[in-house]
Structures are given as structure tokens and as C-alpha cells.
Amino acid sequence: MKEEVITLTTHYIDGAFVASHGREVMDIIRPADGQVIGTVTLADEDDTRCAIDAARRAFATFSQSTKEDRIEILRRLHAAASAHVDDLTAAMVEEYGGVVQFSGLIVQSGVNAFQAAQQALQEMPLTRSWGKTTVTLEPVGVAGLITAWNANTLFICLKLASAVAAGCTVVIKPSELSALQTRVLIEALHEAKLPKGVLNVVTGRGHVVGAELVRNPHVDKISFTGSVAVGESIMRDGAATMKRITLELGGKSPTILLDDAKFDSAIPIALGIAFMNSGQACAAGTRLLVPRRQLDAAKRAIAVAMRAFRVGDPGDPKIAVGPMVSQKQYERIQSYIRKGIEEGAEVLVGGEGRPEGLQAGYFVKPTVFVNVKNDMTIAREEIFGPVLSVIAYDTEDEAIAIANDSKYGLHAAVIGTDIQRARRVASQLRAGRVVINGMTDDPQAPWGGFKYSGVGREYGRYGIDAFLETRAVLET
Ligand code: NAD
């Protein structure tokens, strides 16, 4: 039976799905087999300006909404998204190739963002006064939300929840590789019956739709998740209209295995952090720092534990690593694996080429390099695929120095038995988030990077803060 091909020709502007003015049609490709499963008509600058105008008009009223109004809107958004968790997960598996177990978690954390924002807003004082002075936190204005493809539902829900909590109206530009997932999400959120123009979504190219959002004087704020290169251009180009800017960028995160760690449990945890979301994760712990005198034991434990990281059909719940999102991403991973070999690192598991039996689609072999030096390309650059570099260290101080010797500072992990010691090590890491003894999350804890990993924070009250301006009114 021939599969139905999806055709997306509209954008979501002023509370309705409207025909695209942009004419470029792009294929939607399923990464698991490289087949075309649909087409999307991409937005142009005109579509983007219509969306900005709608958001601007809506801001006049929505900026005056009370905390209670916004909490009610967040409640409706949560209910609308919650009703479609399975559809959203299925779309992430289909269009992005995310493995089903992980996709379910990512979608759920996106949906939870609306609830977490309600709680954070409830607890945030938006007014302070003393004497004849009153200070209020005001919505910054129209926000352009530009997102990456590796966790589409999460990024959109998280940014939208924070912006709406602050009283901003938004124009969302998802990755052009996430058109289908975005459509499923926006059809769900449409059911929340938001005031017209509060939520607008235009799918299009970065240099077209994204660039218009960045340069348009009627957009006050950009919240961006993506690469350092684009983040730099947004900061530079946004300066011309004095944009407020939040940047969530890349990482090359370290996992420090302390010498009192129990390898049986520690190695699977470390590999889980390295290969989550098939390695296409900004927080992936892609540098594993191991005590030199335990290196041989670590290699043996890694080789055994890697058997659990099976590659294949992302819809199969037993699979841990799915395909890469695109041919471009497949080739990028291959070139880094080649570079690692050329620079003298040793392949312990995986290597170049496709895994056996997976010739269609963008599958790569989950790869672990040993004998890696921290100055090699594979230890310095973000690969954004399932490639782990194991680096040996001699002392705790050296481990900390290697961990911090990176242009990035998004995430880090410490694994060890003595919790006081693990905390001491964690406190010296230059990263926006450090986890101890396993990957965990807290929707009220800030997320964001030191150094090239970004500017600003998301999640909880930190995320809402990023969409607020401070106004003081003083009486004589
Ligand atoms: P990307 O920078 O290529 O694209 C991100 C978004 O920016 C897309 O929507 C794209 O269309 C848009 N864009 C491209 N050019 C633009 C321009 N000139 N102006 C405005 N917008 C433009 O990144 P990607 O390949 O989609 O995502 C992978 C990157 O995202 C990795 O570096 C990863 O680490 C990072 N990331 C960071 C986080 C985080 O929370 N820190 C989360 C996920 C991904």
C-alpha cells in the first residue's frame, strides 16, 4: 500500500492556518529510510512580517494581562498539549528519527514546561514597592523564538511557556527540518484558544525567516537555540535594533569518572549521557575523563556496556540509537570519525561507515575513541552525533582542568561514590549545569551555558526573567 504523503502549505498567523506567501517547497524526509514522506511550503519575509504584525497587535492587549490571566492560559496550553503526547512522540520518531523511549520523555518535558511555568509565575513577585517607589516587571514585547531540530516540541513549548508567562506575544521559527512535528504541536495548541496573535508560527529557512525576525524593529527579543555560528550572527545583527537576546548554543560536555566510582553502574551512566538522543544532544557528555590507572578496566567495561546501545529502527523500544536527522548530519559524523583516526585516536567501538544491515537511512555506528588528547579536534569541536572521546587523567585537579579546557560550558557530569568529593569537583566546573551520579532534570532549575555555550538561561523563573523588563515608577 502506498503511504500517504503529507502536504503542508500554511503557517499559523493571528490564530488561524493561512496560506504561505513563500513559494519554496521542501521535501520532508524520514531519516530511518531516506524516503520522502511529505512536503512543506516554506515561509518568506512577507509571511514573517504578517506574523510579527499580528504579534504586535496582540501585544497591546496581552501585555496588560494579569498574572492570573496568564496562569489560566498556561493551564489551557498544558491541557491542549497533554492530549497529544502520543501524536507528538510519533511525529518525533517519524520526522526526526528520535528513538521512541527518548522521544516520549522529550515530548513530556515539553508539555510539562507549561505547568512548570505556571508554578514559577505564581511564585514570582512581579511588583515591589517601598516609600514612593514601585518597581514592576513588564513583558519585553514581541519575542522571536528560533529553534533547533533535535528536540522540537521541547524547545517550542519551553520558550512559549516562558514568553507567555511574562506577557509577551511570540513568532516562532522552528527548524525547517521539523515542519511535521511543528504542525502536530500547533494543531494541538490551537485547541487552547489563545487570544489571536499571541502565538504565531512560520516555518522557513534561517537566512529568510530567522534573519527577518532578527532585523525587524518590531521584534523586541530573540530567544534562540542552535549553533554557535548562527548565535554569533544573531547577536551581531540583533544589535542594530537593540534586541534582547538569549542564546542556547552548543557543548562539548565532560563527564568526570572519579576513581572511587563503581564501574558496573558508572560506565552505563556515562555512556547514557554520551549517547542520549542518539548523540544529537547539546548536553551530551562527549568527553569521558577516566583515571589513568583504571583506564584498562574502563575500556573493558565500556566495550561490554556498549552492547546495550543498539542501533536501528527508532520506533522499536529496544533501540537506543536511531538515525541521524539528515544526510548532511550523517556526513558530518563520518568526517569527525575520520579526523579522530587521522589525529591518532584509537577506535575502541564503532568507526566509519554504516552499521551492518542498515544501508538505507542515516545510521552511523555509535563510536568510542580511546587514547584521545584534549587538544584533538574530536575533543574540542561539537560533533553532534554518537561519538565519545575517552581522555585519561592523573589527578583530580587535572581532571577539573581538562573538563574546563573547552570553549564550551553548557553541561557537565561527575560520577563517584564519595558525595562530598563529587560536590567539591562539581563546584569547580565552568558549566551552566552539573549533574552528579546520573542525568537528571528539574524544570525549575536554570539551563544555559557559560562561555560559547550561550547567553542567558531558560526554565523556571530564570526563563521567565529573560522575557521581562524592569520599570520603576517614582512619585514625588
Ligand atoms: P542551527 O544554528 O543551524 O539552526 C538553529 C535555528 O536557527 C534553525 O531554526 C535555523 O533555521 C535558524 N537559523 C539558521 N540561520 C539563521 C540566521 N542567519 N538567522 C536566524 N536564524 C537562523 O542549529 P541546528 O543545526 O538546528 O541545531 C544544532 C545546534 O543546536 C547544535 O550546535 C546544538 O548544540 C545546539 N543546541 C543547543 C541547545 C541548548 O539548549 N543549548 C539545545 C539543542 C541544540
Give tens-digit pLDDT for 347-364: 999 999 999 999 999 999
Average pLDDT, the chain: 98
> At 19, which amino acid appears?
A
| Residue 149 beta carbon below 6 angstroms from any ligand 1 atom | yes
- Atom number of ligand 1 nearest to Cα 205: 11
Q: Please state, in angstroms and rounded to a whole number, the distance separating the CA atoms of residues 397 and 448.
A: 25
Q: What is the mean predicted confidence (pLDDT) over 214-241?
A: 98
Q: Confidence band (pLDDT; 50, 70, 90) for 4?
A: confident
Alpha carbon distances (Å) from 89 to 9, 81, 264, 363: 22, 11, 32, 20
Q: Is 168 a catalytic residue?
A: no
What was the pLDDT predicted at 2? 58
Residue 308 has pLDDT above 70, yes or no: yes
User: What global pTM score does this model have?
Assistant: 0.98
pLDDT single digits (tens) 28-75: 999 999 999 999 999 999 999 999 999 999 999 999 999 999 999 999
Q: What is the mean predicted confidence (pLDDT) over 9-22?
A: 98
Place of cell 566546573: 429
- Atom number of ligand 1 nearest to Cα 226: 30
CA of 397 to the centre of ligand 1 (A): 34
- From the list 95, 212, 248, 382, the catalytic residue is 248
CA of 146 to the centre of ligand 1 (A): 8
Contact 253, 149 (CB under 8 A): no
Residue 207 has pLDDT above 70, yes or no: yes
Q: Please state, in angstroms and rounded to a whole number, the distance separating the CA atoms of residues 350 and 344.
A: 16
Residue 207 dihedral angles phi and psi, to the nearest 5°: -75, -5
Q: Which of 146, 201, 234, 382 to mutate to test the pocket of ligand 1 (most atoms within 8 A of CB)?
A: 146
Long-range contacts of 259-263 (CB under 8 A, 24+ apart): 259/291, 259/293, 259/294, 259/416, 260/416, 260/417, 260/418, 260/421, 261/415, 261/416, 261/417, 262/417, 263/294, 263/297, 263/298, 263/301
Contact 14, 54 (CB under 8 A): yes
**Considering only CA atoms, which residue is closest to atom 23 of ligand 1?**
226
Contact 349, 368 (CB under 8 A): yes
Residue 1 has pLDDT above 60, yes or no: no
Q: Confidence band (pLDDT; 50, 70, 90) for 118?
A: very high
What was the pLDDT predicted at 428? 98
What was the pLDDT predicted at 38? 98
Q: What is the mean predicted confidence (pLDDT) over 237-264?
A: 98
Q: Please state, in angstroms and rounded to a whole number, the distance separating the CA atoms of residues 388 and 367.
A: 6
Q: Please state, in angstroms and rounded to a whole number, the distance separating the CA atoms of residues 39 and 177.
A: 11
Q: Note the maximum CA span of the chain.
A: 78
pLDDT single digits (tens) 291-304: 999 999 999 999 99
Residue 374 has pLDDT above 80, yes or no: yes
What was the pLDDT predicted at 312? 98
Q: Please state, in angstroms and rounded to a whole number, the distance separating the CA atoms of residues 149 and 280.
A: 9
Residue 53 dihedral angles phi and psi, to the nearest 5°: -60, -40
Q: Which of 282, 382, 407 to mutate to test the pocket of ligand 1 (most atoms within 8 A of CB)?
A: 282
- Atom number of ligand 1 nearest to Cα 148: 26
Nearest CA to 447 among 433, 437, 435, 434? 433
How many Cβ atoms sit within 10 Å of the Cβ of residue 414?
28
